[in-house]
Structure formats: structure tokens, C-alpha cells
Amino acid sequence: MDHDPRCAGRPALDPALDPALDADPDSDPADTAPVDTGGIDWLAAQMEVDECDGYVVLAVDPQTGEVDAHGPFPGMDALEAAQSMRETLDREGLTDVVVRVVRWHQDRPGRAA
């Protein structure tokens, strides 16, 4: 599809501002110059974010804006707590409350925030 009507409000892209737009359409996109990451090792950063000390169950009420946090829990216990909370909220007719499991990182001396 050449045109997606959902994107009609998006401004046209200018090849003068993005040299990639002026590239040969048959060229291999992998044959480009490496991207400057500013010296950040993104793979290591992603691995560090995925390392966590436990999980917290969040309940967010869109009507009041209230957020409750429960935990921390080890892996599967957090999922069980979230499922139990969801079932309780549904029984009470609070189906619009959002329940999510998020990673928890314990503060440690010398660890960057």
C-alpha cells in the first residue's frame, strides 16, 4: 500500500533533511554507515534493565488516578498476585482498574539511578 489514510496528517518527508530517503530503493538497508550511539552500550544497558530484584503489582484506577503498588514479589508470585487482584476487582465491578506487573530494582549504594 502506497498511502495509509490514517497518516494523512503527517508532514511530507524531505530528502534534503534525511539522506536515507534519497537512497536507491533497491539498496540493502543493512549496508549503511554505523549509527553513532554516543558511546552507550545499548545491549549492556538493556540487559541491566532486565535484571531486577523482584516484581511489583500495580493497580491503576483511571477514574480517580490513584495508583497502588503491591510487593515486591519473586517472578511467578507476582503473576499470581496480579491474577488474584484482577479477579477481586472484577467481582467488585471495578473492571476499568488496570493491573500490571512491573520490574522492581532495589536501591544499592553506588548504583546510578
Q: Which domain holds residue 94?
A: 53-105
Rounded mean pLDDT of the chain? 75
Per 3-state DSSP, the chain is made up of helix, strand and coil in percentages (nearest 5) of 30, 20, 50
Tell whether 15 is covered by a domain: no
Is pTM beyond 0.85 here?
Answer: no
7-36 tens-digit pLDDT: 444 444 455 545 555 556 666 655 665 655
Count of domains forming the chain: 1
What is the phi-psi region of residue 63: left when phi exceeds 0, alpha when psi lies from -120 to 50, beta otherwise?
A: alpha
CB 102 within 8 A of CB 60: no
Tell whether 75 is covered by a domain: yes
Tell whether 37 is covered by a domain: no
51 — pLDDT class (breaks 50, 70, 90): confident
Tell whether 111 is covered by a domain: no
Tell whether 82 is covered by a domain: yes
